[in-house]
Homo-oligomer: A and B are copies of this chain.
Amino acid sequence: MPKSKSYKLVAEPADLPPEADQAHRFEKARTAQATALLEDYAELISDLIGTEGEARPTDIARRLGVSHATAIKSIARLKREGLATSKLYRGVFLTPAGEMLARRARARHRLVVDLLVAVGVPQEAAEVDAEGIEHHVSDETLRAFATYLGRA
């Protein structure tokens, strides 16, 4: 992950050229996309461990609909970023950081599906669309969803 200047706490000057705003939005979307894969893997690994007792690369690959080679390479990225570990022929595990990411991803995923259904989106469409939408929902937006659903 490219260092991502995390100046989220810094107030953003209101006197920037107008197109800078737009550029900043696109940049946020690109950043979100860069973490989407990590979030999906973390959530899935956590699910598999919970339901199957273990998360094997082959199962991960089948659930994601990618080749096992692709899954293994992505798992390598998770390890590189300190989110997962794995022992040869013994499955993949999440580090504390990975667990935390998985928990938040799962909670957000559920909230997004519930919000969509609450505003009238059919269940199956909500499930499908949420898989992509979830990665672009900020904490602020998530709080608004929770409030709307009466779970503030």
Q: Which of A1-43 contact B (CB under 8 A)?
A: 2, 4, 19-20, 22-29, 32-33, 36, 40
State the main secondary structure of chain A at its contact with B.
helix
**Measured CA separation A58–B23 after assembly (Å):** 13
Given known contacts A132-B33, A141-B125, is B119 in contact with A65 (CB within 8 Å)? no
Q: Does A93 contact B (CB under 8 A)?
A: no
Asked whether B136 lies within 8 Å of A23 as measured between CB atoms, the reply is no
Copies, count: 2
Given known contacts A23-B62, A120-B148, is B115 in contact with A141 (CB within 8 Å)? no
Determine which of B62, B116, B148 lies in contact with A141 in the assembled complex, contact meaning CB atoms within 8 Å.
Answer: B116
Contacts of A65 in B (CB 8 A): 20, 22-24, 26-27
**Measured CA separation A17–B125 after assembly (Å):** 19
Q: Does A122 contact B (CB under 8 A)?
A: yes
Asked whether A133 lies within 8 Å of B144 as measured between CB atoms, the reply is no
Interface residues on A, range: 35 or more
Binding site for B on A (CB under 8 A): 2, 4, 19-20, 22-29, 32-33, 36, 40, 62-66, 115-116, 119-122, 124-129, 131-133, 135-138, 140-141, 144-145, 147-148
5 A-B pairs with the lowest CB-CB distances in the bound complex, closest first: A132-B136, A23-B65, A29-B132, A121-B144, A120-B144
